[in-house]
A and B are shown apart, each in its own frame.
Chain A
Amino acid sequence: MAVSIVMPQLGESIVEGTVAKWLVREGDLVEKDQPLLEVSTDKVDTELPSPAAGVIGKILVAEGRTVDVGTVLATIEEAVKQVHAPGAPEPAPPRAQSPAGAPPVRATPRLSREAIAEGRMREAARARETVDRPAAPREEDRRRISPLVRRMAEEHGIDLTEIRGTGIEGRVTKSDVLGWISRGAPARAPQIAPAAGRNASISEEAAATPAVPAEEGFLRIPTFSVPRYAPQPGDQVIPFSRIRKRIADHMVYSNVISPRVTTVAEVNMGTVATLREAHKAALRAEGVTLTFLPFVIAALTRAITDYPGINASVQEDTLILKKAIHVGVAVDTERGLLVPVIHGADRKGVLDLARAVQDLGNRARDHALTPDDMAGGTIAVTNPGAKGNLFGTPVINQPHVVIVRMGEVVKRPVVVEVDGEDLIAIRPMMYLALTYDHRVVDGVMGNGALHRLREILEAGAFDL
């Protein structure tokens, strides 16, 4: 049965439209809702989706022509079965539809007659083995796709050309594929079943393929059903704000992606406390509070010189050691936690770091940070500050590999050696935690960096 594609009524006042571009050719197999052509009217450019699945018949209106609303532009033969005629090769599976797409009906192939005629028989034959295996990636893509990613894509019937890569040079990474699956699969899964009814070549097995790879890669995220919430008097129901959602996603991602280890050192902050007292008043005059934080940042930048492996990021299966040292500083705001960045922290003295911390904190709370303030961090320090805070295990600010967390500085009795004699003395002490991503930082480096950090803080020889 033929279905007509007509120039749509795009609005009451709009009486005609121009065929800007055909996105399909005569004889192409199309899926329902697949974009067929672009129509432009004054100031509006619209993609026209296919009203039905089938084969494009005659195209009646050429590109560039303007016609009245209601004019037939082309016809579609609804002939899904045609490609399964005996003797014809099993069709290559459709490219995984954009998830934006209406139901990606997997059973409706998108292999055009030309494609077969052009001798892509090998692909078609390969596809016969399993309907869920996608066409091989184009050669130029193959170079940039890791075997793991390619295998995942094959298992899930994903066309990698449809995924925007976030890896180095735009390459598609494992997490891109996982993201694609998690976004696309839930919507797709229920739609496979009816499609299977139309095309016996889809096996039950294919329809039952789990959304997340079970064996490949590092990740398998189990599902868990949270008990349904029944409203209780007095409860407050607060939908996530966008910032909250972003924080939540980031924290879950970080928690899942990085096997993190926290190591804690006890640091005598006596020398730093003396320095702080000496310079507090001068900075106060500028409206800047001198805390212990800028000393820790300064010490961290120096520890990085000896342990460059902690100032790094992980991109897929590559470690990138960063030359620049841009330290993120966790700031609590009414909207949630933000981590603005002190750029080139290693080139600043302690007092300048104090000014930078104060400035970022003020602007974070005044909603006056700029995108540049948030970008480019290579490592982070968090100083929860609240009383009674002994030590804690932070979550890594991705894609960093290390975060340092300060505990409260409190006076504690400690054993010190004076003139070869052990004495109990009172010193301002701090538990300092360094959390590292054990994918790329091993214990020797993690502990070594923390120990160095402690040495620098206790020696107290800072450039102010």
Chain B
Amino acid sequence: MTADPFTILRLGRVPYGEALELQESLLERRQRGEIEDTILLLEHPHVLTLGRRGDEANVLADETALAARGIEVRRVGRGGDVTYHGPGQLVGYWIVSLRRWQDDVGRFLRAIEETLIRALSPFGIEGRRVPGFTGVWCPVPGQPELEKIASIGVGIRRWVAYHGFALNVTTNLAHFDSIIPCGLTGKRMTSVERLLGRAVSLDEVADAVAAVLPDVLGGALLEDERVIDRAALVGTVTSR
């Protein structure tokens, strides 16, 4: 691991399209070396997204019905199949150079998992990896099967990654019924709230993620900023 520093930007609730535009802008800047590795922490309004491998058949409800519930469907340039984003879910977008992991995307995915597993631990939640099934999985008392608490999907452009993870904190899990999450038939989704039997704020979980990142990334946290002026962010980012 190199000791490249990184920045965390907390964006609050951001419409999917706007966040995507921001990601693409930051991706371009990261590729040009104008900014350091940047991790965005945010929340989306209701949206279903299909990755490049996404199969429309895994969206069970039809689009009109989804639209009626205020859920849009979008196809995006990350790996993975279909997933749901919405209120109560902590989304982390990693605009990072793969060189930290010697251009090994497998190690990169494991680092995202590691971050979430460590961040969940102080809440008393045991996150696990399942070989072959990228994401973070949790044992549930009385259930034979692990349930999935976080989905991961990334895109890589010129060895800079974008997209990242979606961690269910207080997500309304019923929304996952509209899809076959990640194309995995018969897998159940869970959330921090469901596992603990109480609601935890997104900020609290974001703080936990921010706290473990320097260690997982092996680099210094330059800034952890609560962004209030997103429009300006597209135009200006610190160059160092």
Contact = CB atoms under 8 A, between A and B. Distances in A.
Pair from one complex: yes
A40 interface: yes
Most buried by B among A41, A49, A102, A373: A41
Contacts of A187: 32
A371 B228 contact: yes
A12 B107 contact: yes
A338 B228 CA distance: 10
B104 A47 contact: no
Interface residues of B, number: 44
B53 A242 contact: no
Contacts of A46: 105, 155-157
A10 interface: yes
A245 B31 CA distance: 20
B225 interface: yes
B180 interface: no
Contacts of B154: 43-45
A147 interface: no
B79 A42 contact: yes
Interface stretch (A13-21, A413-421, A446-454): A13-21
Nearest to B35: A242
Nearest to B29: A100
Interface in B1-59: 7, 12, 27-28, 31-32, 51-53
B12 A44 contact: no
Most buried by B among A14, A20, A44, A374: A44
Contact of A13 (B106, B156, B229): B106
A232 interface: no
Contacts of B87: none
A38 interface: yes
A213 B28 CA distance: 24
Nearest to B156: A46
A241 B135 CA distance: 34
A7 to B, nearest CB: 13
A369 interface: yes
Given A13-B106, A43-B79, A246-B232, A371 B28 contact: no
A12 B236 contact: no
A246 B232 CA distance: 7
Contacts of B32: 99-100, 183, 187
B12 A370 contact: yes
- What secondary structure prevails in chain A residues at the interface with B? mixed
Contacts of B78: 45
Given A100-B158, A371-B12, A250 B232 contact: yes
A245 B105 contact: no
A242 B225 contact: yes
Interface string A134-148: 000000000000000
A21 B152 CA distance: 21
Interface residues of A, number: 43
Most buried by A among B134, B152, B228: B228
A42 B230 CA distance: 32
Interface in B197-240: 223, 225-232, 235-240
A308 B42 CA distance: 38
A317 interface: no
A371 B229 contact: yes
A40 B153 CA distance: 11
A239 interface: yes
A203 B207 CA distance: 56
A42 B134 contact: yes
Given A241-B238, A249-B235, A249-B236, A41 B229 contact: no
A183 B104 CA distance: 30
B139 interface: no
A102 B134 CA distance: 31
A79 interface: no
Given A10-B106, A38-B52, A99-B32, A45 B236 contact: no
B237 A242 contact: yes
B152 to A, nearest CB: 6
Given A11-B105, A38-B52, A99-B28, A44 B156 contact: yes
B92 interface: no
Given A10-B106, A20-B53, A43-B79, A246 B236 contact: yes
B228 A369 contact: yes
B109 interface: yes
19 contacts: A38-B77, A40-B52, A42-B79, A42-B132, A43-B51, A43-B134, A43-B153, A44-B105, A44-B153, A45-B52, A45-B77, A45-B153, A45-B154, A99-B28, A183-B32, A242-B225, A245-B237, A250-B232, A374-B229
Given A11-B106, A43-B51, A47-B155, 13 more contacts: A11-B105, A20-B52, A20-B53, A40-B52, A44-B105, A100-B31, A245-B239, A249-B235, A370-B228, A371-B227, A371-B228, A374-B229, A375-B231
Interface of A: 10-14, 18, 20-21, 33, 35, 38, 40-47, 49, 98-100, 102, 183, 187, 239-243, 245-246, 249-250, 338, 367, 369-371, 373-375
